[in-house]
Amino acid sequence: MAAVTEQTDNPTRLWGGRFAGSPAEALARLSVSVQFDWRLAPYDLAASRAHARVLAGAGLLDADELGRMLAALDDLEAACASGSFRPTVDDEDVHTALERGLLERLGALGGKLRAGRSRNDQVATDLRLYLRDHARGVAGRLVELADALTEQAARHVDTPAPGMTHLQHAQPVTFGHQLLAHVQPLLRDLDRLRDWDRRCAVSPLGAGALAGSSLPLDPIRVAKELGFEAAAPNSMDAVADRDFVAEFLFVTALIGVHLSRLGEELVLWTTQEFGWVELDDAFATGSSIMPQKKNADIAELARGKAGRLIGGLVTVLTMLKGLPLSYDRDMQEDKEPAFDAVDTLELVLPALAGMVSTMTVRVDRLAAAAPRGYTLATEIADWLVRRGVPFRDAHEITGQLVALCVARDCALDELTDGDLLAVSPALTPEVRDVLSVRSALAARTTPGSTGPGPVADQLAAAGDRLVAWREWASERVVPR
């Protein structure tokens, strides 16, 4: 939230000529947004520089005026960055505050910048610039978490672990495979961010309040200068569109869901009952009353923050659902959820990445757990299928073997040759060749499966994709 300084003697308002008096205090308090939209200041100033150049191109500023205008905008940006210029309680929003700063530097000349634009197209432009910029920051954090997961996976390409469905032991997998299963959603999230960015790269500036301008402006030139791919094709839609906010919030909410699922597994893996993972002390917390406790708070907070991200999406969709064209003040409610989503992910992602990268995997516990729960039963069924037994029959035969083991409280490999033949003549002693976790994993050679070979291929492919994502995340969106 922006620090707001004391009231000024001569408040700047961007409206009011037809009003006989000042707004009521209750209205002013409800209307003010500068306490949260001040973070748009660098983007508003970038758009103002582009707009000033277009005004000069239209003959509305001469060369001297343009030079002074750009110098004042640069000075104002430096003052904002240093904190020597701050919004006041009289500044309704970021646009009002920055116009005040420009008037302080230029006098009447500062008022010329408002020609041909409205706060409606300004804020739509600023928010697109902000989100495009910060989407790359979020992408960079996603890459860091994916890197942490792939580095751990590389250490456990052939580490056996119990794969689960319904949270019950199902089939043996490699732990590297399971870690990479969390990388794939992150890669999809990165794809979604870039796809969203392509649709967001449309400039509203030039739409004015809703109808464009009678001044000879150049929206296409402004769009290119600000790093957009195109200018908005319809001025009413340009100021009314908040699809880009809703879609951004959908992407961040889905990221939150993916982080929550990873967090849930980390919580389970660190319990005494699982004991698969030991957390580094720097990424765990303790108890105020129980000295022995070591809690996976980061993972739990990742789960909790997902609700916050989902809530932001619901807020904006609900706000938008009944709005008539074109601009409505309801849209002021779009920014806080968007800002909160960025802030939340910039907190959660580095913490999760640190937690994953520093955790110690208990290979002995994983290997011991891998065959428990008769996880090799499917290997027997597949072995029978390879010998011509229909899978329906193979499934029944194997189920009978498991029932026998349950009754005797023994493992599959503890049955005698006689026990096997008693269940089915098809169960010859050669079936024992598949009754080991290592053989089960080695048999998984198809692309995308859990065998060490396919897991190594997945690692290489993920590494290649992450290189490209690092480059995209480091791009600068908004030029000076």
Give the chain's end-to-end CA distance (angstroms, integer).
Answer: 25
Going along 309-371, which residue ranges are E strands? 360-361
- Separation CA 132–CA 386 (nearest Å): 54
Which two structure tokens, joined as six digits, stand for 244? 């880009």
- Annotated catalytic residue: which of 84, 166, 214, 288? 166
- Separation CA 108–CA 288 (nearest Å): 62
**Long-range contacts (CB closer than 8 Å, 24 or more residues apart) made by 292-295:** 294/270
33 is catalytic: no
Which position has the token pair 């937690």?
355
- Annotated catalytic residue: which of 287, 326, 424, 436? 287
287 is catalytic: yes
Which two structure tokens, joined as six digits, stand for 346? 């910039």
- Separation CA 210–CA 266 (nearest Å): 50
Which two structure tokens, joined as six digits, stand for 216? 């000879």
The residues, ordered by sequence, that sit 6+ positions from 100 with a Cβ below 8 Å of its Cβ are 8, 12, 88, 91
Which position has the token pair 């308002």?
13
Which two structure tokens, joined as six digits, stand for 256? 């939150």
- For residue 185, the tally of other CB atoms under 10 A from its CB is 18
Q: Catalytic amino acids? A: 166, 287
